[in-house]
Amino acid sequence: MKILADLHVHTLASGHAYSTIEETAKAAAAKGLEMIAITDHGPAMPGGPHQYYFGNLRVLPPEIHGVEILRGAEVNILDEQGSLDLQEYYLKRLDIVLAGLHNVCMEPLCQKKNTKALVNALQNPYVDIIVHPGNPDFPIDMEKVVQTAKQQNKALEINNSSFLVRKGSRKPCREIARLAREYGILVSISSDSHFSGNVGELDLAVEVALDAGIPAENILNINGDRVRRFLARRGKRRFVSQSDGK
């Protein structure tokens, strides 16, 4: 399975990543990617950028080194109400919004409350993808989260880096992948790259998706066209205007 868009990529701005946007785009081009999403952490992450950083992403060109650039964020879920660390003013101006649980931004709760946090975040109109829902630090009712993603027409991520940095991720990620196939929801297979050399590195996550039997048509980021259509349906300004012009 050849995946041409990486929708979860970090840069120096995240505070714990080590490459620039330029370096990352150049590496993505060398690997034959069509599209990457710059999704630095929201401001609640230690070392993360100020909210103004996300407002100023508008200065980025739509393409660098022949790779389409999505202006995004990986926002942090802060509580069981699904509160996010980026204001609506900025969220509605981004091309793509990822949301996830991180134990430096929200203390892991019981399964019921962790699940409530993800369900509420999925109901936020600006959130497009829930990242690393198989994080073993945050046990959840996986079926309920998958069902909510289906109801909201949103995607869940299989995160390649989880298998390298989050011990115990393989079993919950495989179960989420199985449920994703069962319910027919969209899945985003992403690198969560924190260094340019890791952009587009997706082999472990692809293996999990294939083992679960997830069909190619349910892989959101298999190519740029599919991502653009998804974001246009989600009402993202940039892509709605593009589709209106056709």
**Per-residue pLDDT tens over the stretch 86-113:** 999 999 999 999 999 999 999 999 999 9
Q: Residue 241: its pLDDT value, please?
A: 76
Q: Residue 244: its pLDDT value, please?
A: 60
| Statement: residue 64 has pLDDT above 60 | yes
| pLDDT per position as a tens digit, 6-27 | 999 999 999 999 999 999 999 9
Pairing of strands 63-64, 35-38: unpaired
| % of the chain at pLDDT higher than 90 | 97
For the chain, state the CA radius of gyration.
16
Q: Does the reported pTM lie above 0.75?
A: yes
Tell me the C-alpha distance between 92 and 10, whole Å. 20
Q: Residue 153: its pLDDT value, please?
A: 97
| Statement: residue 39 has pLDDT above 60 | yes
Q: Residue 242: its pLDDT value, please?
A: 79
Residues 60, 38 contacting (CB under 8 angstroms): yes
Confidence of residue 55 (pLDDT cuts 50, 70, 90): very high
Q: Residue 139: its pLDDT value, please?
A: 98
State the helix-helix crossing angle for 237-244 and 224-233, rounded to 10 degrees: 100
Of 143, 179, 173, which is closest to residue 158 (Cα–Cα)? 173
Confidence of residue 79 (pLDDT cuts 50, 70, 90): very high
